[in-house]
Amino acid sequence: MEDASVGSLLETLNRLRLHQADLISDVKNHIERLENNLLLFKRFITEKREEDEILKEVTAQIREVVYKAEDAVDVFVSQALEKETEKSSKRSSQLSRGLKKYTMIRGRLIFPGRC
C-alpha cells in the first residue's frame, strides 16, 4: 500500500499542472523534480517500511518532508491565485475607467452642447 502523504502531494501536483498551468509556468522544472523525487520516496516507503527501525525512521522523515512540501505548494498556489485576482481586479478597474472616458467623449461628440 502506498503512503497516503506522498500520494496526496502527487495528486495535488498533478491537479495543479492540469488546471493551473499558467500559475506554475515559472516553477515547472521544480515541480517536475519534486514529482520525480516523490515517486522515488513512494517506492521506497512502499518497499522498505517494514524492514528495520532505521528504515522506519527514514520513512517517517520522508513523510515529514512531504508534508512540508505539500504545505509549501499550497502556499504557492494561494499566493499565485491572490496575484491573479489582484491583476484581474486592476484590469477591471482600468476597463471601467476607460469605458467611462469613452462614454464621456462619445457624449461630447454626439451631443456637443449637453456635456
pLDDT tens by residue, 22-39: 666 777 777 788 888 888
Query: What is the predicted pLDDT for the residue at 48?
Result: 67
Query: What is the predicted pLDDT for the residue at 77?
Result: 81
Low-confidence ranges of the chain (pLDDT < 50): 1
The grid coordinates of residue 106 equal 462619445
What's phi and psi for 52, nearest 5 deg? -160, 175
Would you say the C-alpha torsion 85, 87, 93, 99 has a positive or negative sign? negative
85 vs 101: CA distance, rounded Å: 24
Query: What is the predicted pLDDT for the residue at 113?
Result: 66
